[in-house]
Structure 1
Amino acid sequence: MKNLIVSLLILVFSVPAFCQTDEAGIKQTVISFFDGMRKADTAMMRSAIAKDVVLQSVANKKDGTTALVTESMTDFMATVAKPHKDVYDERITFNDIRIDADLAMVWAPYKFYVGQTFSHCGVDVFQLMKTDRGWKIIYIVDTRRKDKCVE
């Protein structure tokens, strides 16, 4: 009986540790992506993404309608790698992380700065997949606006 109780206690306390490890790995993947962007280091950015990552934005058009805009990750990285005077700094807050087996979702409000100048804000939503090389971003979709930023 004593062994059964000890085994159950070990099981109960080890399950959150596994979840924390996945959550930490997920956060680190997203952080690496943005650290790479701040450093204009596309190799660092690539280390955080899957080969066929999809990059999209939910955009408000001038006529008031909403559109889903798909961007090329290759073009995005070329923009990041192009010499620029100011740092591209996307400051995110990890608001919600959900995990089911090898799939994870991150909901992250952000504020984007060029150097010290505020540009826009919104929410990034990341989908990640656990691979043999760790968590990789497979999908990014965001919103963009100039006001009503989430704190």
Structure 2
Amino acid sequence: MILLSLLLQITPVAPIEKGTGLPPPAADEAQVLAPIEAMFAGLTARDPAAILAQVRPDGSATVAIQRADGSRAIRRQSWADFAAGVKPGPERYVERLIGPAVEIDGDIAMVWAPYDFTVDGKVHHCGTDHFDLVRENARWRVLNVTWTQRSTGCEAR
């Protein structure tokens, strides 16, 4: 969480539909980002339960893959299936958001950001993450995440 917080550069963006035209207060953004940071910590720890603790079970994870040969694929998984794919291993996984944009309207929020995914400190792939979150009982939870994934063009970030 500390590493992600240090790397975050909150991009000031005009809200999609707000009367004041001001971005949400930084404290609100931090609350929205907290379950995402916790998911990333669970991924690094290879702890499926830690990931599942941050999501609504009725949501999903969808990836749009662009392979080096130019072929493309889209894969959708339930949160249970996504978490089941997180297995123990010796490699160290780290996902890092780069300058996330956070939008909040009442009890829904969206986070959009480029990301890097490293394995043992070396960039494995990159793309853009899009998180949909909902607030229930004063707690933000990830409903869905959709991301692009490619292994080329990542070094320039």
Scaled by the length of structure 2, what TM-score is found?
0.74
Larger Rg: 1
Indicate the residue corresponding to 1:12 in structure 2: none
User: Could you tell me which of 141, 144, 148 is aligned with 1:139?
Assistant: 144
Aligned residue number for residue 43 of structure 1: 49
| Count of matched residue pairs | 135
Identity between Structure 1 and Structure 2 (%): 32
Residue 62 to residue 32, structure 1, CA distance change in 2 (3 Å):
closer
Which has more helix, going by share of residues? 1
Match of 2:133 in 1: 128
> What code does the residue aligned with 1:136 have?
R
Q: Larger relative contact order (C-alpha < 8 A, sep ≥ 6)?
A: 2
**1:64 CA drift (Å):** 5.2
Residues 19-67 of structure 1: per-residue CA shift (max 9 Å, x gap) = 3332111111110010111011222212211121211012337885654
Q: How does 1:43-82 map to 2 (within 5 A)?
A: 43-60=49-66, 66-80=72-86, 82=87
Distance in 2 separating the partners of 1:65 and 1:41: 31
C-alpha displacement of 1:143:
0.3
- Indicate the larger mover: 130-139 or 65-74: 65-74
* Aligned equivalents of 1:55, 1:114: Cα separation in 2: 20
Give per-residue Cα distances to partners, 1:48-97, cap 9 Å, x unaligned: 111212110123378856543212322221221x2211122112224211
Gaps of 5+ in 1: 1-15
CA–CA separation in structure 2 for the residues paired with 1:102 and 1:63: 41
Q: Distance in 2 between matches of 1:113 and 1:64?
A: 22
RMSD: 2.4
